[in-house]
Structure 1
Amino acid sequence: MRTWQPWLSTGARAVLAAAFLIAGAIKVTDLDASARAVNAYQLLPWELARFVGVVQPVLEIGVGLLLLAGLATRLAAALAAGAMTVFIVGIASAWARGLTIDCGCFSRGGALPVGQNPNYAWDIARDAALLALAIYLIVFPASRYSLDRRMA
């Protein structure tokens, strides 16, 4: 194994953990706003959007904590990759349908004020980069300062 690979995986873990912890922390403080953000995508019935809006921040924090600790890294990375894929598809769908919403990734989301335009290209590019990190961790989960390593 290359000596730099565990360090690269550690960096990927840290970036993904930070992204998921920050996104989850922003949303968990206002679950009603999180539900409205999910509903703004107009893909789910209100009751299901509300459920997703409540569960999503908790899952984001859970995945972030697993990645931060380096515990079940491959599983956590797979969950992160799945989430990033769903986020990318959702944002692309909103863009294709001409919706003017804040993606809600690192905010409370929802409809944007009249005259304010979303930056969907940036949102997709950012999420694609996070998806790439998650895929890297699925392939190369061994990292420094991880509970996985201590338990092996």
Structure 2
Amino acid sequence: MIAPRAQTRRFDDWAPWLSTLARLILGGVLLVAGALKVIDPQSSVAAVSAYELVPGWLERPIGWGLPFLELGLGLLLVAGLLTRQAAAVAGMLVVIFLVAVVSAAARGLSLDCGCFGGGGQVAPGQTAYAGEIVRDLGLLGLSVWLVWRPRSRFALDHPELTRAGELEREDQR
């Protein structure tokens, strides 16, 4: 049996690598989602409108602003800047997406989520709510992980995790 201290040390060694993977996946998804929407902002507005959750006067600002928010968060996460804060905002965004998708499903709306461009009404039976919910729960899990363990490899906001930092930690053991 491995001693608890050895297990903790092993976890502490792997946690920055897991955080790096989480940061790159979450940031990459946000970059792709934002990039696909920013090239067709009217489609993004239509997707927001299709959910029927916000007043009409808010649909345009949300539809136009959301792609830029996603791009900004994605860039911060991929670069490893303000990781905890970016992951927290991304997590809140994912919760909003989850609420919107669950709400659409509960109200019997047939929508393409519009998470990766497009969006809007689709034929009944063409929805993929279960897959979207599972995907968003996974992204929420990555966000929570990064809020808890924001230190990752190759991040611009944690330079102490360079090789020099690793050597210092080994010397302390």
Task: Classify the TM-score, shorter chain.
Answer: over 0.9
Query: Could you list the runs of 5+ residues in structure 1 that have no partner in the other structure?
Result: none
Any idea what SS the aligned residue of 1:71 has? coil
Q: Does 1:14 align with 2:24?
A: yes
Residue among 145, 151, 164 paired with 1:142: 151
Q: How does 1:121-132 map to 2 (within 5 A)?
A: 121-132=130-141
Residues 40-67 of structure 1 show CA distances to partners (whole Å, capped at 9, x for unaligned) of 0001122201110000000000000000
Equivalent residue number for residue 34 of structure 1:
44
Query: Residues of 2 paired with 1:29 and 1:95: CA distance?
Result: 27
Q: Percent identity?
A: 48
Would you say the 8 A contact 2:24–2:77 is kept in 1?
yes
* CA-CA distance at 1:117 after TM superposition: 2.1
How many pairs were matched up?
Answer: 151
Q: 2 CA distance for matches of 1:78 and 1:142?
A: 14
Q: CA deviation at 1:151?
A: 7.8
- The letter of the residue matching 1:149 is H
- Cα 1:27–1:66 shift into 2, 3 Å: same
Larger Rg: 2
CA contact (8 A) 2:19 2:150 kept: yes
The amino acid of 2:91's aligned partner reads A
Q: Specify which of 55, 64, 69 is matched with residue 59 of structure 1.
A: 69
Q: For 1:20 and 1:89, how far apart are their aligned partners in 2?
A: 18
Q: CA deviation at 1:108?
A: 1.3
How high is the TM-score relative to the length of structure 1?
0.96
Aligned residue type for 1:142: R
Instruction: Give SS of 2:61's match.
Output: helix
Separation (CA, whole Å) in 1 of partners of 2:44 and 2:125: 20
In the other structure, the counterpart of 2:129 is: 120
Distance (whole Å) between structure 2 residues aligned to residue 39 and residue 137 of structure 1: 31
Moved over 4 A (4+): none
TM-score by length of 2: 0.84
Matched, 1:96 2:106: yes
Deviation at 1:73, TM superposition (A): 0.2
Pairwise CA RMSD: 1.3
